[in-house]
Amino acid sequence: MKIIKSIPLMQSISNKAHKPVGLVPTMGSIHKGHIKLINASKKQNTTTIVTLFVNPAQFAENEDFHTYPRNFQKDKKLLSDLGVDILFAPETSQMYPSGFQTSVINDRLSSVLEGEKRPGHFRGVSTIVSKLLNITKPNNAYFGQKDFQQLLIINKLNNDLNHGVQIISIPTVREDDGLALSSRNIHLNQNERKTANKIYASLKHAKSLYLNGEVNADSIIYAVKKYLVKESLIKIEYISIRDKFTFENVSTVTSNSIILIAVYINKTRLIDNLIF
């Protein structure tokens, strides 16, 4: 596995890489969700590039940039063992040199839910993804469905800015009890971890209501809140039901609807979603 930290070198190597090229962007702390993305890329491409960059631009001042889990040596060994061809792990000064002023923003999709609760987050995500697509020039790029709003935004920027990359979404990978895999799960203590499985359970409860005939979005959201308020460790930040294509709010739930949730379990913020 080649390890590259220089943008010019990465550009040179990606131009010469055997096609097709698959890109898996990560912030490190590699888990089974990332591994599923990597394996999909390896299956579908001749060359797989994994990027490892904890992007400061997508963290607000009061968020967990400094405590975000990092273990480069462990990640490096794991990625090598997985058969990744290239690891691109630039320093912040490479990605955001002195005088950097340009950002990418989708005003509509970035103004609600995660965008509203985390101001500037999607500006940072969109900018770094756009840079990574430009630097690595992949044919295919792989993203998980757990960050569903992010996935929509990346699809839109790819189309609007003519990157010409095939964006491939991979279903959320879960623990045996349903908790969506996340690098932030490491922050949960034993009691918090036991409580965390209620997030997915509440989403399954919502889908069960729909499958049994309930189509009123407000009624389903109320039922999910009622399910979760029993858990003293959980603080609900938002629950929303939207069209999975347009991301508009819906009042009537259909098979094209998605329920999205963000909660705090004590100090750890977790998100999840489920398509009806």
Asked if residue 173 lies in contact with residue 32, where contact means CB atoms within 8 angstroms, the answer is yes
- Taking the C-alpha atoms of residue 154 and residue 177, their distance in angstroms, rounded to an integer, is 29
Which sequence spans correspond to the domains of the chain? 2-170, 183-275
**183-275 shares the fold of 2-170:** no
Please tell me the distance from the alpha carbon of residue 159 to that of residue 166, in angstroms, as a whole number.
10
User: Looking at residue 19, what is its pLDDT?
Assistant: 94
Given this model, what pLDDT does residue 67 score? 67
Please tell me the predicted confidence (pLDDT) of residue 42: 97
How many angstroms separate the Cα of 160 from the Cα of each of 17, 42, 112, 135, 153?
A: 26, 27, 20, 18, 10
At the second CATH level, the architecture of 2-170 is 3-Layer(aba) Sandwich (3.40)
Structural tokens at position 55: 């992007």
Helix intervals (H) in 161-243: 190-211, 217-228
Of 112, 167, 142, the C-alpha closest to 50 is 142
Give the other-Cβ count within 10 Å of 171's Cβ: 11
34 in catalytic set = yes
Question: For residue 233, which amino acid is it?
Answer: L
What distance separates the 2 farthest-apart alpha carbons in the chain? 57
195, 228 Cβ separation under 8 angstroms: no
Superfamily designation of domain 183-275: Pantoate-beta-alanine ligase, C-terminal domain (3.30.1300.10)
Q: Helices then strands (H, E): number in the chain?
A: 9, 9
- The pTM for the full model equals 0.93
pLDDT of residue 183: 83
pLDDT at 53: 86
Cα atoms in the Cβ-side hemisphere of radius 13 Å centred on 76: 10
> One digit per residue, pLDDT tens: the chain, 276 residues?
999 999 999 999 999 988 999 999 998 788 899 999 999 999 999 999 999 988 888 886 667 676 677 788 888 898 999 999 999 999 989 999 999 999 999 989 999 999 898 888 899 899 999 999 999 999 999 999 999 999 999 999 999 999 999 999 999 999 999 999 998 898 999 999 999 999 999 999 999 999 999 999 999 999 999 999 999 999 999 999 999 999 999 999 999 999 999 999 999 999 999 999
What's the chain's average pLDDT?
93
Q: Of 18, 34, 121, 163, which is the active-site residue? A: 34
Indicate the Cα dihedral angle 171, 110, 66, 84, nearest 10°: 40
